[in-house]
Amino acid sequence: MSDTTKWRERYGPWGLVTGASDGIGREFARQLAKRGLNLVMVARRREVLDGLALELGGKYGIETLVIAADLGRAEEAQRVCEETSSLDIGLLVASAGFGNSGPFLSGSLAQELNMIDVNCRAVTAMSYHFGKRFVQRGRGGLVLMSSLLAFQGVPRAGNYAATKAFIQTLAEALRIELAPAGVDVIASAPGPTQSGFADRANMRMSMAATPEVVAAATLKSLGHKTTVRPGFLSKFLEFSLSMLPRWGRVRVLGLVMGGMTKHQNDQDKTQAGGSA
């Protein structure tokens, strides 16, 4: 049985990927198209999605639907659900999300709340909607993006880590609840990844995994694991941190995050010197 046949039999003809315009979400779209699934691709930038749809449709002969939506707005997530009601979607990859870094009180409250809307509320709403559809059809899959930072508090990325802890916990529970109905659920918890995430979060990463590695490892583990940690660094840190108490993990990752955001202090000094 071909890989395409197996994926269509398990999940049906359509998958939906949020955050499909770049990074990990874009790679999920590519790898699902390669497996023969038609795709709904959701992100804010329609022109980027249109280009990806043209590329994947031409290369793999799949159908595509592009939906430009800002999932930080509740009505936009609802619109995505409504505009796909006629499609036999069997797989949701909730890859849309963003983070930031630096001291919590130095950031923007509006941005912190928007992060909760995108990373938590939208994922919850779409998991609820599509989870119900999958249970009714007797098969399906939910891929929820957790993080290496989800398993303890992380100084200088406190709110982001908290949003991913929410997703990790949700995925763990849903896997048990939905398995009897034939629905697979997995939490993907990568470490640093070469994507647009670091630029938006104002972080500098080294030894980062590629989006290809993250997507491939996640899809390979779907239906077999509750949590997958793609990439060497994520696995190494999991082993290293597992021997520490939770407070120790908080301290260690605080030091790691401090290193990845050290340039922010240099930027602040430069700006202060320039304005003096």
Name the token pair of 128.
């609820």
pLDDT at 276: 31
pLDDT at 204: 52
Is residue 11 part of the annotated active site? The answer reads no
Residues 74-108 have pLDDT tens digits of 999 999 999 999 999 999 999 999 998 889 999 99
Kindly list the distances between the CA atom of residue 257 and the CA atoms of 6, 117, 249, in Å, as whole numbers in the listed order.
41, 23, 12
- The yes-or-no verdict on residue 206 having pLDDT over 70 is no
Residue tagged active-site, from 6, 11, 128, 164: 164
Query: Where exactly are the structural domains of the chain?
Result: 3-275
- Return the minimum-mean-pLDDT range out of 50-64, 171-185, 196-210, 239-253: 196-210
- The yes-or-no verdict on residue 257 having pLDDT over 70 is yes
Residues 146-159 have pLDDT tens digits of 999 999 999 999 99
CATH H-level, domain 3-275: superfamily: NAD(P)-binding Rossmann-like Domain (3.40.50.720)
pTM, whole model, 2 decimals? 0.86
pLDDT at 270: 40
Tell me what the mean pLDDT of segment 223-251 comes to.
81
- Return the minimum-mean-pLDDT range out of 3-12, 194-203, 206-215, 263-272: 263-272
Residue tagged active-site, from 160, 220, 235, 262: 160
Kindly list the distances between the CA atom of residue 239 and the CA atoms of 68, 161, 209, in Å, as whole numbers in the listed order.
40, 19, 17
Residue 27: phi, psi to the nearest 5? -70, -35
Is residue 225 part of the annotated active site? The answer reads no
Mean pLDDT (the chain) is 88
